[in-house]
Amino acid sequence: MNIPFTTNPRPDTGVYNAKLGIWLFLASEVMLFGALFSSYILIRVGAPEVGENAWPLGSDILSVPVAFTNTMVLITSSITMVMAWASLAMKKFDKYKMFMGITIALGLTFLVIKGFEYNSKFEHHLFPSTSNFMAIYFTITGLHVLHVIGGLIVNFYLWIPGAKMWESDPERFTNRIEVAGLYWHFVDLVWIFLFPVLYLL
């Protein structure tokens, strides 16, 4: 049984089904992270400016150079993800494999750096229960880490076992990479917001 609109756009939306689905999913993700960012703003605005419970400056507790490095890692991974999709669009499967492999490696690099950063916080006895700031930091960045892991699982599948579809249905496989790329770009975009909000402001 053939599933319609896996490669051709739907007449009512102008996009194929998977692309429509990922945009709807990402809309729900925007609401999720939007709620967390709103909570952050409300708690911060209500915090005293001076005293023991004053809101700390992120750069006094968190490592800006480490976060900046991770920002560059994710931005670069977005570029390589686009290059992976573009390679398939140009029928260059070998280049796709290379760029997707680099994307996965960069995602893993982000997780390793984040792991060292978390470990540093624990060594300095900074936990979610330490303060509202640390609670928000671990909640939002932890959720973001889970999204990175989810994206890496999908990308790895499309890099090795799922790549077999290229032989039978290259256009549909190219669309799958585009959809995975949209999710990956969203994950990167969330971090681009997290970096200044938590580390610089």
CA dist., res. 175 & res. 185, Å (int): 15
**Domain boundaries defined on the chain:** 17-45+63-200
pLDDT along the chain (201 residues), means of 10: 62 75 94 93 83 77 94 98 97 97 98 96 92 92 97 97 92 94 97 93 79
pLDDT of residue 123: 94
pLDDT of residue 199: 92
Note the pTM of the prediction, 2 decimals: 0.90
pLDDT of residue 66: 95
pLDDT of residue 1: 45
pLDDT of residue 70: 97
Rounded to the nearest 10 degrees, what angle do helices 64-89 and 170-194 cross at?
A: 160
Per the rule left: phi > 0, alpha: psi between -120 and 50, beta: everything else, 125 is left
pLDDT of residue 109: 98
- Give pairs for 82-86: CB < 8 Å, separation 24+: 82/181, 84/177, 84/181, 85/174, 85/177, 85/178, 85/181
Reported CATH class of domain 17-45+63-200:
mainly alpha
